[in-house]
Structure 1
Amino acid sequence: NMLILFETPAGLALFKVLKEGKLKKEDDYFKHFETPEKASKFVKMHAFKRFKDTKEALKTVTKLLEGKLTKKVKKFLKSNCITDEVQEKIACFDKDLAKTIQNKLGIECEVGNKCRELIRGIRYQMSSLLEGLSEKEMRNMSLGLAHSVSRYKLKFTTDKVDSMIVQAVSLLTDLDKELNNYAMRLKEWYSWHFPELEKIVNDNETFARIVLTLGMKSNISKVSFDGVVPEDVAEDIRKACEISFGTEILEEDETNIKALASQVVEITEYRATLSEYLSNRMKAIAPNLTILIGELVAAKLIAHAGSLINLAKLPASTIQILGAEKALFRAMKTRKNTPKYGLIYNASLVGQAQSKFKGRIARTLSAKASLCC
């Protein structure tokens, strides 16, 4: 005898095929489910296990989708499919689930187009075949279970780590832009008061720390630059301060300039923390790609492709020009030479090479990168 395993939002059901002889003779099974009367003559409810609550329903459904069985489902199938007289055969919707049932319980299973058509027919007449459950109740249960399964899948999605990397590298790019703008504004603003400092100190963070330490030029004899700059640089700053021709500023100006300098220092420190976080994540998710082209370039490629899986699917020729799409289409439109590299140009191997070898190295590197993903 054949039983059909059918999952519903309310519980698990086993339906018995009453006219099993017709299954071998006919191909169109859906005609037996056109009306509730026809469906009740073709299949009959054999057993039903109702879910206790949404938690149990979610656990059972997610296990079934993964091709696994819970203890309660095993007990339900054993008690209703295996008897002393005869062992029933189960029609399943999923090949992996059928294999699990066969291996774990020793019950013969069948999958294929015939089983899918039967399950489709039962689903079409579900409200009439399931006794004691109204269509409204089934709809509400279905909606609640669908939301629970969606939340569960979103919680344990494989793309979660990828999305963290995409967000981190995008933020890192934004921080670099903002940091450059803030540092440039700070240098321009403070140069009205002490223009010589910009020529002595080039680093943005060091410049901001000197501004926070020094403030007005008149404080040069009172402050110490220990831990900010080396002693020889500090001496140059003192000498430049004595002969500086910058204009005087008010205390209110000094307060605002120092506020901007503190922002530059804070953003620089946060950028260093974010960069370390990104480096650790990249070493965990794509270690080979990170070693080959560096964590920043690898993260930018993943962000541009959308995810690591999408990047792995791309051919080497696409990875080579990823990030240079505008230049590619412009070259194709004007019938000029197409670009030889995109984001991969920032990799150290390409950047250090001679100009005549850059294109060749970028092509080789992109081929290796496609294997690393």
Structure 2
Amino acid sequence: MPDWKQNELAIMQYWFGDINSDDACVLATGEISFLVARYHDIDINMDDFVPLSFETAVKCGAFKNRDEYLEKLRLLCISLAEEKIRAHYTKGDIELVQMVRMLDEMDHVINLLIERATEWYLVQNPKFSRKYKSISAKRMIAIIRREKNSLGRLGYEIDRLSSERTRLMKEISGRADIIAPNCSALVGGLVAARLISRAGSLHQMSRMPASAIQVLGAESALFTHLRGNTPPPKHGIIFQHRRIHNSKSKVRGKVSRVLGGKLAIAAKLDYFRGEIVPEFIEGAQKRIDYVFSLGEEVKK
């Protein structure tokens, strides 16, 4: 006889109700959401826990038969799984990843729409064809919007989409400053967000070696190097950092390696501490600036 059977006051809690030592049941009735909440509230001492059999659940009147028991248990498990999925994808860095991917899709769509709209405009205004190549995309849309037809209305919608894209970019940068303050301080919020997106999450990025962070975004060039005799990539997304794209070619690889190493540390600080570390940022910036200055000395 189980130990809890010997205690008249013992009560075993299960997701569908409570069963005392006399096999008397107090059923938990309600929707699946209520049973999910009850599941989370149950405090079980595994030393005294008695595994449940469907016969016990049927005997105490919670279910008519085994099929009904399994069906209710299936719905409960599905609800619990959905709850965990929602909790996972509403984490700050997971949402940030989706925001960056949306921004990339918007960039692709906007560029494609501008290209098609420009071709349409050139058909209507062939004398303009020699000028458009030197005009920025923003200026081109402003010109297209002047048309008094469907093309003009489409130009207006493209302009609106571009404005939404700008707002999303600013929101991404602000969100990255909160989620990854150290990475953002090193490379800026937007670049930090793109690195996290490419890595998959801040957790994944915090586990990556510096060499992998250095070439995030340059995977195709890296695999081409591994398959053939092409030079290895020196940088990926981090090329957007001013100290890399402004550095001389002789030290660009060194600056990239230093920045990749500092980002690897910054990602760990962001994931495990979640707050900016000023002394680390100051030291990292000095080291990056020093390596960058080596290229300036070579130039002299």
With the length of structure 1 as denominator, give the TM-score of the two structures.
0.58
Q: Larger C-alpha radius of gyration, 1 or 2?
A: 1
Structure 2 residue 60 is the aligned partner of structure 1 residue 132: yes
- 1:83 is matched with none
By how many angstroms is 1:324 displaced?
A: 2.2
Structure 2 residue 75 is the aligned partner of structure 1 residue 144: yes
By how many angstroms is 1:332 displaced?
A: 2.1
> Identical aligned pairs, as a percentage?
25
Letter in 2 for 1:92: N
Cα-to-partner distance string for 1:67-119 (whole Å, 9 max, x where unaligned): xx5xxxxxxxxxxxxxxxxxxxxx834xxxxxxxxxxxxxxxx4xxxx7xx75
Retained in 1: the 8 A contact 2:23–2:60? no
Letter in 2 for 1:137: E
Task: Give the Cα separation in 2 of the matches to 1:361 and 1:48.
Answer: 70
Counterpart secondary structure, 2:128: coil
Match 1:266 to one of 146, 156, 160: 160
Counterpart secondary structure, 2:29: coil
Retained in 2: the 8 A contact 1:5–1:92? no
With the length of structure 2 as denominator, give the TM-score of the two structures.
0.70
By how many angstroms is 1:143 displaced?
A: 1.6
Q: Judging changes above 3 Å, is the alpha-carbon distance between structure 1 residues 181 and 158 closer, same or farther for their aligned structure 2 residues?
A: closer
Retained in 2: the 8 A contact 1:9–1:138? no
Give unmatched runs, 5+ long, in structure 1: 15-43, 70-90, 94-109, 216-253
Q: Output aligned runs, 1:133-172, within 5 Å.
A: 133=61, 134-157=65-88, 159-172=90-103
By how many angstroms is 1:146 displaced?
A: 1.4
- 2:126 is matched with 192
- 1:59 is matched with 37
Give unmatched runs, 5+ long, in structure 2: 5-9, 268-300
By how many angstroms is 1:314 displaced?
A: 1.6
Structure 2 residue 27 is the aligned partner of structure 1 residue 50: yes
Counterpart secondary structure, 2:243: helix
- 1:10 is matched with 16
Retained in 1: the 8 A contact 2:210–2:264? yes
Cα-to-partner distance string for 1:217-256 (whole Å, 9 max, x where unaligned): xxxxxxxxxxxxxxxxxxxxxxxxxxxxxxxxxxxxx524
Letter in 2 for 1:132: C
Letter in 2 for 1:259: R
Q: CA RMSD in A?
A: 3.2
Retained in 2: the 8 A contact 1:297–1:344? yes
By how many angstroms is 1:258 displaced?
A: 1.8
Task: Give the Cα separation in 2 of the matches to 1:181 and 1:128.
Answer: 63
Structure 2 residue 174 is the aligned partner of structure 1 residue 280: yes
Number of residue-to-residue matches in the alignment: 253
By how many angstroms is 1:181 displaced?
A: 3.0
Counterpart secondary structure, 1:340: coil
By how many angstroms is 1:142 displaced?
A: 0.9
Q: Judging changes above 3 Å, is the alpha-carbon distance between structure 1 residues 211 and 132 closer, same or farther for their aligned structure 2 residues?
A: closer
Match 1:358 to one of 226, 246, 252: 252
- 1:206 is matched with 139
Task: Give the Cα separation in 1 of the matches to 2:12 and 2:192.
Answer: 46
Letter in 2 for 1:194: F
Cα-to-partner distance string for 1:186-244 (whole Å, 9 max, x where unaligned): 44434524357537x7332233224434x4xxxxxxxxxxxxxxxxxxxxxxxxxxxxx
